[in-house]
Amino acid sequence: MAEIGIGIVGGGYMGKAHSVAMAAVGAVFDTALRPRLEMIAASSPESAERHRAALGFARAAKDWRELTDDPRVEAVIIASPQDTHRAIAERAIALGKPVFCEKPLADSLDDARAMVAAAEAAGVPNMIGFNYIRTPASQFARKLLAEGAIGRVTWFRGEHTEDFLADPAAPFNWRCEGMANGNMGDLAPHPINAALALMGPIAEVLAEVECVHADRPGGRVTNDDHAQIMCRFASGVKGHIYSSRVATGRKMGYAYEIHGTRGAIRFDQEDQNALWLYRAEGPEAERGFRKILMGPAHPDYQPFCLGPGHGTGYQDQIIIEARDFLRAIEGGGAVWPTFRDGLAVAEVIEAALASAQSGQWTSVIQV
Amino acid sequence: MAEIGIGIVGGGYMGKAHSVAMAAVGAVFDTALRPRLEMIAASSPESAERHRAALGFARAAKDWRELTDDPRVEAVIIASPQDTHRAIAERAIALGKPVFCEKPLADSLDDARAMVAAAEAAGVPNMIGFNYIRTPASQFARKLLAEGAIGRVTWFRGEHTEDFLADPAAPFNWRCEGMANGNMGDLAPHPINAALALMGPIAEVLAEVECVHADRPGGRVTNDDHAQIMCRFASGVKGHIYSSRVATGRKMGYAYEIHGTRGAIRFDQEDQNALWLYRAEGPEAERGFRKILMGPAHPDYQPFCLGPGHGTGYQDQIIIEARDFLRAIEGGGAVWPTFRDGLAVAEVIEAALASAQSGQWTSVIQV
Amino acid sequence: MAEIGIGIVGGGYMGKAHSVAMAAVGAVFDTALRPRLEMIAASSPESAERHRAALGFARAAKDWRELTDDPRVEAVIIASPQDTHRAIAERAIALGKPVFCEKPLADSLDDARAMVAAAEAAGVPNMIGFNYIRTPASQFARKLLAEGAIGRVTWFRGEHTEDFLADPAAPFNWRCEGMANGNMGDLAPHPINAALALMGPIAEVLAEVECVHADRPGGRVTNDDHAQIMCRFASGVKGHIYSSRVATGRKMGYAYEIHGTRGAIRFDQEDQNALWLYRAEGPEAERGFRKILMGPAHPDYQPFCLGPGHGTGYQDQIIIEARDFLRAIEGGGAVWPTFRDGLAVAEVIEAALASAQSGQWTSVIQV
Amino acid sequence: MAEIGIGIVGGGYMGKAHSVAMAAVGAVFDTALRPRLEMIAASSPESAERHRAALGFARAAKDWRELTDDPRVEAVIIASPQDTHRAIAERAIALGKPVFCEKPLADSLDDARAMVAAAEAAGVPNMIGFNYIRTPASQFARKLLAEGAIGRVTWFRGEHTEDFLADPAAPFNWRCEGMANGNMGDLAPHPINAALALMGPIAEVLAEVECVHADRPGGRVTNDDHAQIMCRFASGVKGHIYSSRVATGRKMGYAYEIHGTRGAIRFDQEDQNALWLYRAEGPEAERGFRKILMGPAHPDYQPFCLGPGHGTGYQDQIIIEARDFLRAIEGGGAVWPTFRDGLAVAEVIEAALASAQSGQWTSVIQV
């Protein structure tokens, strides 16, 4: 068992989540590499010091560069605003340090491409934080699809719906400006990632992107509230993706349904410990969607829970990411999802935005 | 209390359903007009005679013309194949007889327009059989929307999904040819009708229409299996409609969800006695989608059931249609939905098919 | 095809439901015997005449005796208050006329026993109206149990919960006095009937019976609001039955769950078109309760609905009763459930009431 | 911020869960006291050393006494077999060290009483590990009940159902002998704890306790498989509790429903992030059970999750226990649930077992 010094840039919600994950992952998964909470950086030295004390790090950095460059920081987690991702990642990569970057990968497609190029050229372990696809249920869905459990897939519908800006009287805030903070920057990446992870590449899209509540108390909203994307997968399958921050009543509507020639799958993150599976087999009278409760028989469940139905939660997904990041570091090798997966999402978003402008089917350009 | 002689053209499933409805409606709703099952017509005199005996009609007609022209037949129900709808309806209208026509209204947009023109010129009560919108739950949804219960609507998603042709090994049958028998002719009208009834007119559409399983044992399929339609309502609201006959696991997926600024509504015909309502009011901690069980407080429920939760079924929807048809006849007046509502659905389908060809946003032409 | 003259005693809710059923059953099931709505009796000649006109009967009787004795009344349906059941049934039986009696069978155990004795001695077709067990879902549950689909049964839990008297401020009404109108007289028979129908005879019970809201505006309540019964089936299986009219939020909580060595069944009448089945077979990771939507593959579904998921409702259950009553009359033979089934329920209730007094396990005496 | 040395006795599932919790709790809740994983004891020195390495403790103890007596161990967590609980707890208490003990409190009622007496006499912070009642949903249910949100309570039904021994062919194992390992020792404490926590003390019980599958491959089962308990709360409310390890299909059926005069509550741990609430207020037509997704507005949710619907899991419950244990240590004061709460559960079980023998209502003796 060896130790590894972890540095985290960002002390906000995701910074804290990764700190907790790194503190817990060793005991949960009995990892070979054991994380040491070495250093944290934030928006100011004072803020970093506060987070250091609260989250249990050994040291606070005066800025991110002190962190990336510190010899006792052996791996870097980026949980800072997305316009900082590229610079931090490139520095860490240049120093040969493994990097985990929160989603979305970068502020622009160019930045995302540069980050992928840098990481792949250097051969440094790199990972992106799409954590919703990490639940036992979604991992099991992937496995079922890979095994052909529902036959040939004929339709995909995905969504990510929340309602935190559904009230038009909610005042203007930082989420109301900047493409990165809008629905297409913040929420759409989740169901697009799910679509890619479950269905493979998307070839063409035709989208609509709309700001529903443009005028809010305190300012004019300059990014989008919701969007729909008709998509054609490279496999030929058709699908639809919807994302919204004005979906009244929906709190964590990361959901999908997939039809195949011999079955179907349904999932909704609002009940994240269940996967619904229909199998077109056996007597007609006994067919129905089964509500399968996650348990030790499913991927990544057992380390958290003794028996079926105990239930995993949001934080557990982050701990699984921590384990996989450690594994990648150890092996110097394969991990999922990588920066390239983050780039793939960005490429779909780019095409969707273009198609929403033109009203035309638009190809997704993959570099 | 007066009697009225009913003639039904068609002894298939819908012909039977309307026969049962006409036999039951008087006692259920204590109607002023009491139907008398006067005459039935079918594909042959022999078939008509069989149906007459089974369904309890007084007489069998040798063909539909004998039925429409019989003086004791005072109102006509058309439940025959859709390529016969126009001729039968025009004859009944010419004779001044009220007409109820099963959906879809006609085989072509031209026929549908001609039927509307004839019925409106003659001032004859006319009605179309969109029965799913008749459930207490969907009527209640309409009422809630009309009252503004969920505020200003911001999104509509509707579907009608079944799986009767999901198995690619299912042999070619009559449903596999003729646009009228495909998904766009047979299933799509339901959610489009729901969209129009709940949301008002659709201004523009962009659709994809696909035959997923083109080769079946016994023949090549010439109509579509499923379709998606992005739509822009005349009100400016955006939406999406999906219909499919290959949606494995779905048996009666007539479903919709509607987001508003102050609430949301969800419905699924597979649990037709419940409507889900979210109201963005009261303490945050107590908000959630309510599963409202239909009961005497909801539209058209009480005549069937003493108390809440007893449950109405498919046949009950047809009995409500029977009541409204009788009311229209009595009053000579307003009824819903009329031939014009059937035409409106056909106009959306026409635009959707055109947009699927062009890959462009296409206006819905209303005549 | 022959006609049969039907007489119905009682023009209240169940009288109406049976009238509608008799008007519709011929067309629905293409029955050999075709009912003729011959005569109706009610609490007064004036009331009978009103019901006659509303429900479509040929004649109104001045009292029930005129109805039972009329030669054109060939079968009698009793839907009057339960203290009248015995006299009417005995008269009809004496005249050799088939009798259908609404539940509960009688006002007292003695009366119930007398009615069974009379019907069985005369060999007259007799039937009791436990209609909830008639849904396709509950019939399918019976079939699955009979086939051993869930292995050896190890536990039964049943309930019938409504909330019509949950509000202590609801004024005293006729339901608040008379054992027959209380929970044990009115609601408990339903889950007890379900228990007997699904599980077989009950050997012993230990119950608690309580009036929760004894003082209401306008009077003092003299019957019970809810009751629980621990029961030991003759098969050795243990179970529990709960019934309540103060179960806030429950509208039609006729529900049961049954565990077996190889599976489990769950049902709730509030979603009456679904049965939940768990089978302990196949890979552990794919096991779960399946929500089976009723369809043509299930008992008594097809005549009402073309395809799966269309949905049957409360009235449809009554139509199935009408069909079975006609079949019994035709065949002069076996039918289910009979008066004896009604008696069996009364015997369980008698034992439950005694055990609630004594606080002791009490045997169910079957005569 | 001060450190505290934690010693854990037991390296099994719960020992690991508490180790993870102690590693994570500081960062999650920004606690004033920060746990240091000081020492672990297990069934042998070798086992302790293995667990030390895997779970990240500083030292392994050769036996539990070395651990309790070590000066750097300042608080003790007991997660060893229940026949060891008393001796370890008494030793720790004698040394004035705070003790957290896994449920059930002890192997016998005498031991449980002795432990409570010792802890209370010494004034040492003491806590018992009923973690299911810790979910945000169950905490919220407690809060709603305390506020009278559903009016006066009239009925409680609780259960804890799993199916790990439902298959009669499952071989005899350690769970099949010893009262402590049977349903009454292992599962029944959960819903009894829920009943007490939500409803207050239980005055009288009448239970049935049964071993359904007495003969298993490899041995004869000597403890119970399932049990039902009719209970009368001290408040006068009636209720029912069922627990089972042979409830086929149920994986984590920790569930309850509570009726009140103005509302109702339902919960099922299989969907642990939702609480169902019915309020008998507002228009009749809009009433229904609301599915409330846990979020920042609910107890103990926010530290884990940014927004509503993210979801907490089993491990999070243990982290909340860790926080409360630390708080009790700091304050030297009030904490919940204490050893006394564990004793209260044991007293109900004692009465239930006696009543199952006698077939009589039996008072719960509280010392």
Q: What is the CATH number of the domain that holds C32?
A: 3.40.50.720
The alpha carbon of residue B296 is apart from the nearest alpha carbon of chain D, in Å, by 8
Mean pLDDT (whole number) for A295-306: 86
Q: Among residues C132, C156, C177, which one ends one of the domains?
A: C132
Which chain B residues in 267-296 lie under 8 Å from chain A, judged by CB atoms?
Answer: 278, 280, 287-289
Domain-embedded: residue C54 = yes
> CA angle, B39 as apex, B34 and B40 as ends, to 5°?
120
Based on the fold, state whether residues D17 and D115 are members of the same structural domain: yes
Domain-embedded: residue C338 = no
Beta-carbon pairs below 8 A across chains A and C: 50
Domain-embedded: residue D255 = yes
- Residue pair C112/C89 in contact (Cβ under 8 Å)? The answer is no
Based on the fold, state whether residues A242 and A227 are members of the same structural domain: yes
Mean pLDDT (whole number) for C302-316: 83
Which domain range does residue C128 map to? 2-132
Based on the fold, state whether residues C127 and C154 are members of the same structural domain: no
Nearest residue on chain C to A140, alpha-carbon basis: C285
How far, in Å, CA of A15 to CA of A286, rounded?
Answer: 48
pLDDT at C333 over 70: no
Chains that contact C by 3+ CB pairs under 8 Å? A, B, D
Nearest residue on chain A to B207, alpha-carbon basis: A230
Based on the fold, state whether residues B123 and B142 are members of the same structural domain: no
How far, in Å, CA of B205 to CA of B352, rounded?
Answer: 6
How far, in Å, CA of D23 to CA of A24, rounded?
Answer: 6
Based on the fold, state whether residues B234 and B95 are members of the same structural domain: no
How far, in Å, CA of D314 to CA of D320, rounded?
Answer: 10
Based on the fold, state whether residues C228 and C279 are members of the same structural domain: yes
Contact A240 B240 (CB under 8 A): yes
Beta-carbon pairs below 8 A across chains A and D: 132
Based on the fold, state whether residues D50 and D124 are members of the same structural domain: yes
Comparing A11-15, A98-102, A273-277, A305-309, which segment has the lowest mean pLDDT?
A305-309
Contact A270 D269 (CB under 8 A): no
How far, in Å, CA of B202 to CA of D172, rounded?
Answer: 66
Residue type, D106: A
How far, in Å, CA of D75 to CA of D102, rounded?
Answer: 14
Distances in Å between the alpha carbon of A335 and those of A327, A329, A332? 8, 9, 9
Based on the fold, state whether residues C171 and C55 are members of the same structural domain: no
End-to-end CA distance of chain D: 39
Contact D23 A19 (CB under 8 A): no
Domain-embedded: residue A323 = no
pLDDT per residue as tens digits for the range D12-42 = 999 999 999 999 999 999 999 999 999 999 9
How far, in Å, CA of A347 to CA of A113, rounded?
Answer: 10
The length of chain D, given as a count of residues: 367
- Extract the tokens encoding C292: 């089976």
The values of phi and psi at residue D292, to 5°, are: -90, 120
Contact C155 D247 (CB under 8 A): yes
- Residue pair A36/A6 in contact (Cβ under 8 Å)? The answer is yes
Comparing A74-78, B87-91, C353-357, D175-179, which segment has the lowest mean pLDDT?
D175-179
HEC string for chain D:
CEEEEEEEECCCHHHHHHHHHHHHHHHHHCCCEEEEEEEEECCCHHHHHHHHHHHCCCEECCCHHHHHHCCCCCEEEECCCHHHHHHHHHHHHHCCCCEEECCCCCCCHHHHHHHHHHHHHHCCCEEECCCHHHCHHHHHHHHHHHCCCCCCEEEEEEEEECCCCCCCCCCCCHHHCCHHHCHHHHCCHHHHHHHHHHHCCEEEEEEEEECCCCEECCEECCCCCEEEEEEEECCCCEEEEEEECCCCCCCCEEEEEEEECCEEEEEEHHHCCEEEEEECCCCHHHCCEEEEECCCCCCCCCCCCCCCCCCCCHHHHHHHHHHHHHHHHHHCCCCCCCHHHHHHHHHHHHHHHHHHHHCCCEECCCC
The alpha carbon of residue C165 is apart from the nearest alpha carbon of chain B, in Å, by 13
Domain holding B354: CATH number? Answer: 3.30.360.10
Based on the fold, state whether residues D234 and D128 are members of the same structural domain: no
pLDDT at C113 over 90: yes
pLDDT per residue as tens digits for the range C194-238 = 999 999 999 999 999 999 999 999 999 999 999 999 999 999 999
Based on the fold, state whether residues D94 and D220 are members of the same structural domain: no
Q: Among residues C73, C97, C132, which one ends one of the domains?
A: C132
How far, in Å, CA of B116 to CA of A122, rounded?
Answer: 71
The values of phi and psi at residue A345, to 5°, are: -65, -45
- Classify burial at A96, counting beta carbons within 10 Å of its beta carbon; exposed 0-12, middle 13-18, buried 19 or more: exposed
pLDDT at A153 over 80: yes
Domain-embedded: residue D336 = no
Q: Tell me how far the alpha carbon of residue B89 is from its chain's centroid.
A: 17
Domain-embedded: residue C326 = no
Q: Please tell me which residue, D305 or A47, carries the higher pLDDT value.
A: A47
Mean pLDDT rounded to a whole number for chain A: 95
Q: Which long-range contacts (CB under 8 A, 24 or more apart) does A123-126 make?
A: A123/A332, A124/A92, A124/A93, A124/A96, A124/A97, A124/A98, A124/A99, A125/A98, A125/A99, A125/A325, A125/A328, A125/A329, A125/A332, A125/A333, A125/A335, A126/A89, A126/A93, A126/A98, A126/A99, A126/A100, A126/A101, A126/A335, A126/A338, A126/A339
Which residues are within 8 A (CB) of D267 and not within 5 positions of it... i.e. 6 or more apart?
A: D137, D138, D141, D255, D256, D257, D274, D275, D276
- Residue pair A301/A312 in contact (Cβ under 8 Å)? The answer is yes
**What residues pair up with A62 in beta bridges, in sequence order?**
none
- DSSP H or E run through A275: strand A274-279
Q: Among residues C113, C132, C151, which one ends one of the domains?
A: C132
Residue A307 DSSP label: S
Among C351, C347, C162, C319, CA closest to C252? C162
Q: What region does A207 belong to: left with phi over 0, alpha with psi -120 to 50, or beta?
A: beta
Which residues are within 8 A (CB) of A121 and not within 5 positions of it... i.e. 6 or more apart?
A: none
Q: How many other CB atoms are there within 10 angstroms of residue A66's CB atom?
A: 17
How far, in Å, CA of A37 to CA of A271, rounded?
Answer: 32
- Residue pair C205/C156 in contact (Cβ under 8 Å)? The answer is no
pLDDT at C328 over 70: yes
Q: What is the CA radius of gyration of chain B?
A: 21
The length of chain C, given as a count of residues: 367
Asked if D193 reaches chain A (Cβ–Cβ under 8 Å), the answer is no
pLDDT in tens, chain D (367 residues): 799 999 999 999 999 999 999 999 999 999 999 999 999 999 999 999 999 999 999 999 999 999 999 999 999 999 999 999 999 999 999 999 999 999 999 989 999 999 999 999 999 999 999 999 999 999 999 999 999 999 999 999 999 999 999 999 999 999 999 988 999 999 999 999 999 999 999 999 999 999 999 999 999 999 999 999 999 999 999 999 999 999 999 999 999 999 999 999 999 999 999 999 999 999 999 999 999 999 999 998 888 777 788 888 999 999 999 999 999 999 865 678 999 999 999 999 999 999 999 999 999 998 8
- Residue pair C203/C233 in contact (Cβ under 8 Å)? The answer is yes
Is the previous residue joined to A98 through a cis bond, with omega within 30 degrees of 0? no
How far, in Å, CA of C231 to CA of C159, rounded?
Answer: 13
Domain-embedded: residue B182 = yes
pLDDT per residue as tens digits for the range A190-237 = 999 999 999 999 999 999 999 999 999 999 999 999 999 999 999 999
The length of chain A, given as a count of residues: 367
Which residues are within 8 A (CB) of B324 and not within 5 positions of it... i.e. 6 or more apart?
A: B127, B335, B336
pLDDT at C332 over 70: no
Q: Which residues of A touch B208 (CB under 8 A)?
A: 230, 238
**What residues pair up with C39 in beta bridges, in sequence order?**
C7, C59
Domain-embedded: residue A243 = yes
| Mean pLDDT, contiguous 10-residue spans, chain B (367 residues) | 94 94 95 96 97 97 98 98 96 98 94 97 95 94 98 98 97 94 96 98 98 97 98 98 98 97 98 97 97 94 81 91 94 81 97 98 93
pLDDT at A333 over 70: no
pLDDT at residue B336, as a whole number:
86
Q: Which residues of D21-56 are buried (b: 16+ CB within 10 A; e: fewer)?
A: bbbbbbbbbbbebbbbbbbbbbbeeebbbbbbebbb
Based on the fold, state whether residues C96 and C27 are members of the same structural domain: yes
How far, in Å, CA of A48 to CA of B338, rounded?
Answer: 68
Query: How does residue A301 score in pLDDT terms, banded at 50, 70 and 90?
Result: confident
Which chain D residues in 110-149 lie under 8 Å from chain A, judged by CB atoms?
Answer: none
Contact D309 A251 (CB under 8 A): yes
Based on the fold, state whether residues D6 and D141 are members of the same structural domain: no
pLDDT at residue A86, as a whole number:
98
Chains that contact B by 3+ CB pairs under 8 Å? A, C, D
Among A234, A245, A249, A257, CA closest to A211? A245
Q: What region does D51 belong to: left with phi over 0, alpha with psi -120 to 50, or beta?
A: alpha
Nearest residue on chain D to B144, alpha-carbon basis: D286
Which residue, chain included where needed, has tokens 């929760």? C212
Q: Which residues of C touch D359 (CB under 8 A)?
A: 206, 360-361
Q: Please tell me which residue, A162 or B311, carries the higher pLDDT value.
A: A162
Q: Which residues of D touch A19 (CB under 8 A)?
A: 27
Count how many domains chain C has.
2
Q: Please tell me which residue, C367 or A110, carries the higher pLDDT value.
A: A110
